[in-house]
């Protein structure tokens, strides 16, 4: 097989969006009975038939372990893997394929550089510059590297628009700076960073630059040589390719000087028990059997993308961005986060008036078949800087159309209208669930009483009610209704000690043993997300006012599965729910369990 290099064609005809969409089988699916509007492309893009078939053909006709086989099948698989690397090198405009290391993704690429380059090059007093826009995967590995070496992390601040403050960056640079690691595009706000300038400034003080290209490579042409990037990383699954495959580009001289990252097969030249010498690039950094099918799929994705042409992609996605910004801006009480002059096709927002938690926005949009992302987007320092816990984010790919954006805007408008027409329901609506406290003002002395004889009996009642609701949208509505009726927790109880970590929204829980009781546990809890308030109401119904031993005997995870929560709540949310259960169980165990 001779590697084919198809130069990126200059498109002369407009993008045929219908033809592009037709290549994505998943776009034909329906969610909750509605056509899918997939607007979470910054998390992962969908895969066109060309990629799906390339991976499937590989498995059906070509699979064998690479490099070692004496037989034709293995030689062919090796050639396919080599070819994939050549496609990647051409795509990034690397000087040679050996500078492109296959990884599991962006995260692994950064960890590789931080561990390997960091170990060999960082010393006490050295500085690494990151930016306030970074994803956790471009923060945590550097914290480890800095800690191990006694080096220090400096952070480029971001302004109100979500742009990096380049003057501040210049002030941070010094002869102590060893490396600057920034993203090409912010996954939380969409800001396109001036990385050419950032790299040049880093080089001017003798520092290296690593660029996290996770959010760029599918949306614009990349030329690592023109950028003069020292390292550039990206993931296949944000580029219309498979998960579990990504690329670390590094300049040959740097990669050659770096110690290997992992030890194992394929990365060695010679092994004795006394000493090991290492293979040449790229194998030195690819220990063990690689994700061959992933590399094949990634190459197919790149070729597919090149077949469309970035000129088309950029024009189309900028139109989507403009339309989405305009439609969302029209909505009352919606505040867009991230107003950079150069933005990728991504809109982040919060609803402030009336305040509606991003989690609730995401779950309600899901019921309309619209997939967006809510949360901190793995950018907690940025959220802290903006003084918010999360945003709702719609991010676009080449297959999205204006109709999907209109559907999004209309659905968000309906969420706002729903909250406006029930202002009391989104704010305080003291209607305690449990009998004894009904009608009473809610304060620290009014914890809900037991709703049934035991948690198991309460669970039966809840399950019976949920059993009458035929589908998830109706069960979701039931949980939301419970959330609306949950009394607000007094602010005095929203203390640090009562904060429950591990939940995506802010959750507080004040649990205690009822005074003068024999181990009866009761609790109040609250959250800024209505869906979580609904889950809290369920927990209160199950647990509050119950005996500690009965609480410990109750199998909550099995009950949540029975209600269908496993299937419909994200992992983070399930973990949040379990964190609340854990807190109640801990108190029960301490007191009479
Ligand atoms: N950096 C950025 C800017 C990202 O958007 C992401 C994914 N959200 C990552 C790094 C991590 O990518 P992966 O999970 O594919 O390793």
The tens digit of pLDDT for each residue in 19-57 reads: 999 999 999 999 999 999 999 999 999 999 999 999 999
Does ligand 1 lie within 6 Å of residue 187's CB atom? Answer: yes
* Residue 109 near ligand 1, beta carbon < 6 Å: no
Q: Of 440 and 271, which is predicted with more confidence? A: 271
Distance (Å) from CA 107 to ligand 1 centroid:
6
The string of pLDDT tens digits covering residues 155-168 is 999 999 999 999 99
Q: 408 CB contacts (<8 Å, ≥6 apart)?
A: 37, 39, 324, 327, 328, 365, 370, 372, 394
Question: Cβ(377) to ligand 1 under 6 A?
Answer: no
Give the residue among 575, 537, 552, 323 at the shortest CA–CA distance from 451.
537
Q: Ligand 1: which of 137, 238, 373 to mutate, most ligand atoms within 8 Å of CB?
A: 137
Compute the distance between CA of residue 199 and CA of residue 209 in angstroms, rounded to an integer: 6
User: Does the beta carbon of 219 sit less than 6 angstroms from any atom of ligand 1?
Assistant: no
Q: Does 378 participate in catalysis according to the annotation? A: yes
Residue 181 and residue 136: Cα distance in Å, rounded? 12
The residues near 592 (Cβ < 8 Å, ≥ 6 apart) are 513, 518, 519, 547, 548, 549
Burial class from Cβ neighbours inside 10 Å (0-12, 13-18, 19+) for residue 240 reads buried
What spacing in Å lies between the alpha carbon of 42 and ligand 1's midpoint?
Answer: 9
**Residue ID of nearest Cα to ligand 1 atom 12:** 106
Q: How far is CA 103 from the centre of its chain?
A: 18
481 closest CA partner among 530, 541, 411: 530
E-strand spans in 320-369? 334-337, 346-352, 355-356
Beta strands in 554-593 (DSSP E): none
CA of 216 to the centre of ligand 1 (A): 11
Ligand 1 atom closest to the Cα of residue 185 is 3
Q: From the candidates 100, 368, 378, 503, which is the catalytic residue?
A: 378
Establish whether residue 131 lines the binding site of ligand 1, counting it when its CB lies within 6 angstroms of any ligand atom: no
Candidate of 111, 184, 235, 243 to mutate for ligand 1, largest count of ligand atoms within 8 Å of Cβ? 235
The residue count for the chain: 593
* Rounded Cα distance, 301 and 54, in Å: 9
Q: How many Å lie between the centroid of ligand 1 and the Cα of residue 105?
A: 8
For residue 43, how far is its CA from the centre of ligand 1 (angstroms)?
A: 8
Closest CA to 113 of 269, 315, 298, 257: 257
Tokens at residue 167, please? 């003057």
Considering the chain, what percentage of its residues have pLDDT values greater than 70?
93
SS (H, E, C) 42-57: CCCCCCCHHHHHHHHH
| 476 Cα to the center of ligand 1, angstroms | 30
Distance separating alpha carbons of residues 242 and 226, to the nearest angstrom: 27
- Among residues 538, 154, 86, which one has the least CA distance to residue 295? 86
Per-residue pLDDT tens over the stretch 226-256: 999 999 999 999 999 999 999 999 999 999 9
Note if the pTM is more than 0.85. Answer: no
| Statement: residue 425 has pLDDT above 80 | no
Residues 237, 291: Cα–Cα separation, whole Å: 13
Interacting residues of 55 by C-beta distance below 8 A, sequence separation 6+: 242, 293, 294, 296, 297, 300
Regarding the beta carbon of 426 and ligand 1, being less than 6 Å apart is answered no
Within 8 A by CB and 6+ apart from 166, the residues are 156, 194, 197, 198, 201
Report pLDDT digits (tens) over 451-462. Answer: 889 999 999 999
Average pLDDT, whole number, for the chain?
Answer: 91
Q: CB of 231 within 8 A of CB of 128?
A: no
Q: Is 107 touching ligand 1 by the criterion CB < 6 Å?
A: yes
Q: Which atom of ligand 1 is nearest to the CA of 235?
A: 15
> pLDDT at residue 443 above 80?
no
**What confidence tens digit (pLDDT) does each residue in 531-541 have?**
889 999 999 98
Give residue for tokens 């609803």.
Answer: 351
Q: How remote is the CA of residue 214 from the centroid of ligand 1, in Å?
A: 6
Is ligand 1 within 6 A of the CB of residue 215? yes
8-state DSSP, 60: I
Q: Does 212 contact ligand 1 (Cβ within 6 A)?
A: yes
> Which pLDDT belongs to residue 577?
87
Give the phi and the psi of residue 373 in degrees, each rounded to 5. -115, 140
DSSP sequence for 73-113: HHHHHHHHHHHHHHHHHHHHT-S-GGGEEEESSHHHHHHHH
């Amino acid at each position: 097989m001779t590697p084919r290099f198809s130069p990126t064609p200059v498109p002369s005809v407009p993008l045929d969006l219908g033809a592009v969409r037709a290549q994505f089988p998943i776009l034909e699916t329906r969610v909750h009975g509605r056509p899918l509007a997939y607007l979470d492309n910054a998390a992962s893009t969908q895969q066109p038939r060309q990629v799906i078939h390339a991976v499937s053909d590989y498995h059906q006709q070509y699979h064998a372990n690479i490099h070692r086989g004496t037989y034709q099948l293995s030689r062919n698989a090796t050639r396919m893997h080599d070819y994939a690397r050549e496609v990647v090198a051409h795509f990034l405009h690397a000087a040679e394929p050996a500078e492109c290391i296959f990884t599991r993704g962006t995260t692994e690429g950064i960890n590789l550089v931080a561990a390997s380059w960091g170990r060999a090059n960082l010393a006490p007093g050295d500085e690494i510059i990151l930016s306030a826009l970074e994803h956790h995967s471009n923060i945590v590995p550097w914290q480890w590297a800095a800690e191990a070496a006694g080096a220090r992390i400096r952070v480029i601040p971001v302004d109100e628009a979500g742009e990096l403050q380049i003057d501040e960056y210049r002030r941070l640079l010094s002869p102590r700076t060893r490396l600057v690691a920034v993203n090409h595009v912010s996954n939380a706000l969409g800001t396109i960073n001036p990385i050419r300038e950032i790299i040049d400034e880093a080089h001017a003080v003798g520092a290296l630059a690593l660029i996290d290209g996770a959010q760029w490579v599918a949306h614009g042409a990349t030329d690592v040589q023109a950028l003069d990037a020292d390292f550039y990383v990206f993931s296949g699954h944000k580029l219309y390719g498979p998960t579990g495959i990504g690329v670390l580009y590094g300049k040959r001289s740097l990669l050659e000087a770096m110690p290997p990252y992992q030890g194992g097969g394929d990365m060695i030249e010679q092994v004795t028990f006394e000493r090991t010498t290492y293979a040449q690039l790229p194998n030195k950094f690819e220990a063990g059997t690689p994700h061959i099918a992933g590399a094949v799929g990634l190459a197919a994705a790149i070729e597919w993308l090149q077949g469309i042409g970035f000129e088309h992609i950029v024009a189309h996605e900028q139109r989507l961005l403009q339309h989405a910004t305009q439609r969302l801006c029209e909505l009352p009480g919606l505040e867009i986060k991230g107003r950079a002059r150069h933005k990728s096709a991504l809109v982040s927002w919060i609803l402030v008036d009336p305040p509606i938690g991003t989690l609730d926005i995401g779950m309600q949009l899901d019921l309309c078949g619209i997939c967006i992302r809510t949360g901190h987007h793995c950018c907690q320092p940025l959220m802290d800087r903006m003084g918010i816990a999360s945003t709702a984010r719609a991010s676009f790919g080449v297959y999205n159309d204006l109709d999907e954006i209109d559907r999004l805007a209309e659905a968000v408008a309906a969420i706002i209208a729903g909250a406006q027409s029930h202002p009391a329901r989104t704010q305080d609506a003291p209607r305690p669930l449990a009998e004894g406290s009904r009608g009473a003002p809610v304060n620290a002395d009014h914890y809900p009483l037991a709703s049934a004889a035991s948690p198991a009996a309460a669970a039966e009642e809840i399950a019976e009610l949920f059993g009458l609701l035929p589908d998830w949208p109706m069960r979701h509505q039931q949980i939301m209704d419970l959330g609306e009726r949950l009394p607000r927790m007094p602010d005095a109880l929203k203390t640090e000690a009562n904060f429950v970590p591990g939940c995506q929204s802010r959750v507080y829980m004040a649990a205690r043993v009822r005074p003068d009781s024999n181990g009866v546990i009761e609790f109040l809890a609250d959250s800024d997300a209505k869906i979580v308030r609904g889950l809290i109401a369920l927990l209160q119904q199950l647990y509050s006012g119950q005996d500690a031993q009965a609480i410990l005997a109750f199998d909550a995870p099995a009950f949540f599965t029975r209600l269908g929560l496993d299937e419909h709540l994200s992992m983070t949310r399930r973990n949040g729910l379990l964190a609340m259960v854990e807190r109640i169980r801990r108190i029960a165990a301490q007191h009479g369990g």
